[in-house]
Amino acid sequence: MLNHYSLWKYLAITLVFATGIIYTLPSLYGNKPAIYITQYIAEKNHQALNNILLSQIKKILENEGITNKSISLHTNKILIQFFYEKDQLKAYQKLSTIFTNKYQVFLCTTPAAPHWLSVIKAKPIKLGLDLCGGIYFVIHVNTEIILNKLQEQYIDTLKATLFEKKIPYIKMYKIKNHGIEINFKNSNFRNKAIVPLSEINHDLVIRRVEENKLELIFSERKKYEICEHAVQQNSTILYHRIRQLGITEPLIQRHGIDHIIIELPGTQDIKKVKKILSTTASLEFRLVNSTISDFEINNNLIPEDSEIKLTNNGYLVPLYKKIILSGNFIVHSNTSLDEYNRPQVNITLDKIGSAIISNFTKNNIGKTIATLFVEYKDSGEIDSKGHPLLIKYEKIVNIATIQSQLSNSFRIVGINNLSEARHLSLLLRMGTLTTPIHIEEERILGPMLGKQNITQGLTACTLGVLTSICFMILWYHYFGLIASIALIANLMLMISTMSIIPDMVLTMPSIAGIILTLSVAVDANVLINERIKEELKQGKPVQYAIHTGYRKAFTSIVDANITTIITSVILYLIGIGPIKGFAITTIIGVGTSMFTSIIGTRAIVNLVYGKKHINKLSI
């Protein structure tokens, strides 16, 4: 039977549109200005977030005459919503002044939609920086340092290999391009060393230099893989650091070979964010070389496997260069007081770190181990590429004798004061960056510009939709009205789909993509209606004309939309930032427009005209 849908098809279409309406609602409600308060340091003796603090905050706001929409206590934060931004800013100034030493106070926005929508995970579309304001960072990842570390590690490995094979050498030192050069006594020893050294790593290119030298350089592929891994690891760590601030929807993406772009929509506190992002501290656990005397230390007679480091009190301590355990294996840390009321940092390791420290301490009971704090700081100078030169700052924060086998949890004592212990604990919890970073560019975009962009975007979108609706109704009458309903449904489905997709952010280019796809949707209905009119002009029956019009237009619509999707996919793959946003919005819009233009309008037409004897159409 022509122009007829089964009941299940109508139910499926109704379900799709009902779901679309529900998930569009949060975006219509928008966001409200808010403040959230979290614990500053997660430690055993922290300042708790409880109902007493909640009552205290309410009283402060009442005394200051600040109106709020709601104030609630959650698992790890107190959330205060406001009706107006002026009340939010006034409350922030007051609360941050009072609680600055106990808690973290942040400006943010929260969905204004009813609670039942949040229960079903319905959220408003996430707005980009150009629409809601926020902070923008361009971060340079110092891959040079990680390549230097690799160079040092392989020097130790090469020395160990030559020692094991009993091949003597005169000198081993670093050269340009992160290479290593080895001087041998003669060419026989040099030639003998080639085979065992080449077995260490196939990416290590070995060249004969002069009569008694070998030059070892890593392949470009190996260096690229190392840098790629470092940037990826740093991106992950920065993401988790930002999440610690309570910012749940940061946008972090790669830019070029060694840069990361971070966008934090709705965030304005740039100082706190910078402090969290740029910290490069870590811990290294090393064995103390107790065989070196004070005379050797004072006269700098230190063997190659050791180096001198300073303690908090300025004492010189010889440490083996080999790192037993690094901060990469630390999964949690907090501060507390020991039995003598002295500050200590409690550390928990992951499974790998736990196995390393357990095996080492088991075999080295009675020896002395040192905890070395390592941090990179900006020297204020730049290199030939314009990047800042970083200075490595190191100090020994703890020296202890291994008395028993350690497990996944242990403590560091001997720290000067509780404030220093808290700082160290916080740095360790934030995760250790694979290699230091530097913020090359930072910008704060105010929300006023975003409001103007939203207004302009909505105005353009509204005018475009209204113009299309007027044209369709005037030209195609009743069928134009059906096409207009499909156009509005298409916009609604696009908004709901974009709000559901994780990490989808609405920007001005995305709005341009929405407007573009709305015009494509109208074009599809124009094709269908014109096909139906052609069939009617040829004297075909009405029901046959409707059926044939949809069938013949279908191929043209699919061909046109497939080419648009292919172009958008290419834009998404090669583009960055706004271009990706435009591409993904266009892809979503093309999909929803095909659904509404072909299936949606056909369902309405079948419902109105199906199974009826009609002599004339309003088209």
* Phi then psi dihedrals of residue 350, to 5 deg: -80, -175
Q: If you write DSSP's letter for every residue of 174-218 in order, what string do you get?
A: EEGGGEEEEE-SSHHHHHHHHHHHHTT-TTEEEEEETTTEEEEEE
- Give the whole-angstrom CA distance, residue 147 versus residue 149: 5
- Orientation of helix 542-574 relative to helix 601-609, angle to 10°: 170
Q: How many angstroms from the chain centroid is the CA of residue 296? A: 49
Please give the pLDDT value at position 40.
55
Please give the pLDDT value at position 18.
92
Please give the pLDDT value at position 41.
45
* Domain formed by 7-27+449-609, architecture: Up-down Bundle (1.20)
* Beta strand 204-209 pairing with 213-218: antiparallel
CATH class of domain segment(s) 143-223: alpha beta
Q: For residue range 228-245, what is the model confidence (pLDDT) as tens digits?
A: 888 888 888 888 778 766
- Where is pLDDT greater, at 187 or 244? 187
The answer on pLDDT for 44 being more than 50 is no
Residues 6+ apart with CB under 8 A from 406: 357, 358, 361
- Give the whole-angstrom CA distance, residue 537 versus residue 527: 15
Contact 246, 108 (CB under 8 A): yes
| Burial of residue 547, with CB atoms counted within 10 A of its CB: 0-12 exposed, 13-18 middle, 19 or more buried | buried
The answer on pLDDT for 422 being more than 80 is no
pLDDT band at 386 (very low <50, low <70, confident <90, very high): low
- Where is pLDDT greater, at 103 or 87? 87
Q: Select the highest-mean-pLDDT range: 8-12, 26-30, 430-434.
A: 8-12
pLDDT band at 45 (very low <50, low <70, confident <90, very high): very low
CB atoms within 10 A of CB 438: 17
Q: For residue range 283-336, what is the model confidence (pLDDT) as tens digits?
A: 888 999 988 888 888 888 888 788 899 887 788 999 998 888 887 788 777 888
CATH class of domain segment(s) 280-429: alpha beta
Q: How many angstroms from the chain centroid is the CA of residue 233? A: 11
Please give the pLDDT value at position 19.
92
pLDDT band at 387 (very low <50, low <70, confident <90, very high): low
Of the candidate ranges 62-71, 230-239, 410-419, 555-564, the one whose mean pLDDT is the lowest: 410-419
3-state secondary structure 102-134: CEEEEEEEEECCCHHHHHCCCCCCEECHHHHCE
Q: For residue range 330-384, what is the model confidence (pLDDT) as tens digits?
A: 877 788 887 778 888 888 888 888 888 888 888 888 899 888 888 777 666 776 6
| Burial of residue 369, with CB atoms counted within 10 A of its CB: 0-12 exposed, 13-18 middle, 19 or more buried | buried
Strand partners, 331: none
Rounded to an integer, the average pLDDT of 179-191 is 89
Q: Average pLDDT over the chain, rounded to whole?
A: 82
- Give the whole-angstrom CA distance, residue 230 versus residue 251: 19
Establish how many alpha carbons lie within 13 A of residue 11's alpha carbon, considering only the half-sphere containing its beta carbon.
3
Q: CA torsion angle for 606, 597, 547, 539 (degrees, to 10)? A: 110
Residues 6+ apart with CB under 8 A from 220: none
3-state secondary structure 2-71: CCCCCHHHHHHHHHHHHHHHHHHHHHHHCEEEEEEEEECCCCCCCCCCCHHHHHHHHHHHHHCCCCCCEE
Domain with CATH 3.30.1240 in the chain: 143-223
pTM over 0.85: no
The answer on pLDDT for 101 being more than 70 is no
Tell me the CATH number for domain 31-112: 3.30.70.260
Q: How many angstroms from the chain centroid is the CA of residue 30? A: 24
Domain with CATH 3.30.70.260 in the chain: 31-112
Please give the pLDDT value at position 107.
76
Torsion-angle region of residue 345: left (phi > 0), alpha (psi -120 to 50) or beta?
Answer: beta
The answer on pLDDT for 578 being more than 80 is no
SS3 content of the chain, % helix, strand, coil (to 5): 50, 25, 25
Domain with CATH 1.20.1640.10 in the chain: 7-27+449-609
Q: For residue range 460-500, what is the model confidence (pLDDT) as tens digits?
A: 878 888 888 888 888 888 888 988 898 889 989 999 998 88
